[in-house]
Amino acid sequence: LTAFRLIYFGHPVPNTFYAKVSGDWFGNIWNGLGYLRDFAMTQPWVIAFGLISLVYAIRFFMKVNGDMDNEERALKLSWGLIAVSAVVSMIPPVLTGGDHFHLARFFQPAWPLVVIPGIHLFHKYCTSPKFITEKPMRRIITTTLVLVAMFWVAQQPKWEQISRPQNRAEARERLKMAVEFTNAMHGRDIGAELSTRVGGELSVAAIRVGGLGLTYSGRVIDLMGLNNEQMAHAPGILEGDKNHAAFKPEVFWNQNPDLVEPKFIYLANESRIIDRLLPSADSFDDKALKGIIRSDEFLSKYTPIVWPTTKNSHSDGFVAVWCRNDRLELLDGATVLPVK
C-alpha cells in the first residue's frame, strides 16, 4: 500500500497525515495518551480486554519457542498473533496524537481485534473441567453476571442517552455527537443552495467541507488541507488547535477562492449575520484560519453578502458568505452587508 501511494501520489502516507499530524512527536504522544485515556473512560470494557490482549501478546513472545506439540504450538501462535495485532493496532493513534472527534474513532477499527483474546479467555473458562463440574445454577449465575457486566459497560454513552437525554450530562454527550451531524447537514444544504445560485461556476473555500463537497457542483477548497494537497504539504510547523492547524495564508492567497466560509443562518438580522461571518478574536474559526478573515487584506478583497434560502424547509433562513469583490456581479440580487 505504501509503495502504491509513492508511485501514484508521490507520498508515503495519506494526505490526512500531512494536514493533521504535527512534527512535534513528544506533543503527539502526549496528546495520544490523553486520547487513549478518553477512549478508556467512554468504553470501560476496553481496559479489561486491552490488558488481556497485552498479556496474550507478552506470552506469545515468551513461549513461542517453548516445548509444545504442533497443535498446541499452532494455537499459541494463532492467538498470540491476534493479540499482537490488537496491541499494535492501538499504537498509531497514540503516536499521531489522536483526533478531536468524540468517541475516539481512530481506535474503533481495533475493537474486533482487542475483544477476541478476551472472548477466547472467557471460552476457556467456560469449557474448563472445573467450571463444567460446578453446580449448574452457579455456572448460569456466573456466566450471566459476566455477560451482563460486559454489555452494561460496552458502550458509553448509550444510544438512548444520545437520542433522548435525561439530564445535563447526557445532553452534553448528545451535543458532542449531534454537532457533527448538524454540520454535515448544513454543509449539504449550503452546497445545494450555492449550486442553485451559481451553478458551480465559483470556487468555494471552507473549514468544514464534508457535506458542502457532496452537494456543490463546483470546485470546493478545503482550508484544513484534508482534500487540498497544496495546503497540506505547505512548509511550516502545524501550530494551532488539534487537527485544524494546516491552514497557510500564503496558500489561501495563491488559490484565491471566489467564495469563503458560507454559512446557514436562521431568523437573523444584519448584525447577527456579520457576527457569524466575522469570527471573534481567538474563536475556533479565527484560530483555524490564522486570523485571516479579520485581516485588512482580506476585508479589502472580500465582501459579505446574504440572500434568502430557496428551499421550503429553510424558508426562514439565509445563506451568508464572503464573496471576492470581482465576483459580486455573478451573484446579482444578493444583499451586500457593511463591515465596520
**Nearest one of 337, 209, 312, 198 to 261, comparing CA atoms:** 209
Place of cell 493513534: 93
Cell of 198: 451559481
29 vs 272: which has the higher pLDDT = 29
Answer for the pair 100, 16: CB distance below 8 angstroms, yes or no: no
Predicted confidence at residue 309, as pLDDT, reads 81
Residue spans per domain, the chain: 2-156, 168-336
Amino acid at 172: R
Whether the pLDDT of residue 16 is over 60: the answer is: yes
* Cα–Cα distances in angstroms (integers) from residue 210 to residues 103, 181, 216, 220, in the given order: 19, 11, 10, 10
For residue range 237-256, what is the model confidence (pLDDT) as tens digits? 777 777 788 899 999 999 99
Q: CA-to-CA distance for 251 and 174, rounded, in angstroms?
A: 36
Answer for the pair 194, 214: CB distance below 8 angstroms, yes or no: no
- Longest CA–CA span in the chain (Å) reads 85
Express as a percent the part of the chain with pLDDT over 70. 86
For residue 279, the SS3 value is: coil
Q: How confident is the model at residue 24 (pLDDT cuts 50, 70, 90)?
A: confident
Place of cell 503516536: 95
User: Averaged over 268-297, what is the pLDDT?
Assistant: 85
Q: For the chain, how big is the Rg over CA atoms in Å?
A: 26
User: Averaged over 194-210, what is the pLDDT?
Assistant: 91
Whether the pLDDT of residue 330 is over 90: the answer is: no
Cell of 220: 470546493
Cell of 22: 504535527
For the chain, report the end-to-end CA distance as a whole number of angstroms: 52
Whether the pLDDT of residue 259 is over 90: the answer is: yes
Answer for the pair 218, 198: CB distance below 8 angstroms, yes or no: yes
Burial (Cβ within 10 Å: 0-12, 13-18, ≥19) of residue 42? middle
For residue range 104-118, what is the model confidence (pLDDT) as tens digits? 888 888 888 888 888
- Least reliable range by pLDDT among 113-122, 148-157, 192-201, 325-334: 148-157
Answer for the pair 186, 264: CB distance below 8 angstroms, yes or no: yes
Interhelix angle for 45-63 vs 111-126, to 10°? 80
Q: How confident is the model at residue 38 (pLDDT cuts 50, 70, 90)?
A: confident
For residue range 58-93, what is the model confidence (pLDDT) as tens digits? 888 775 555 666 777 777 788 888 889 999 999 989
Predicted confidence at residue 340, as pLDDT, reads 67
**Nearest one of 311, 310, 309, 302 to 337, comparing CA atoms:** 302
Strand order in the sheet with 259-266: 220-222, 204-206, 259-266, 317-324, 302-308, 335-336
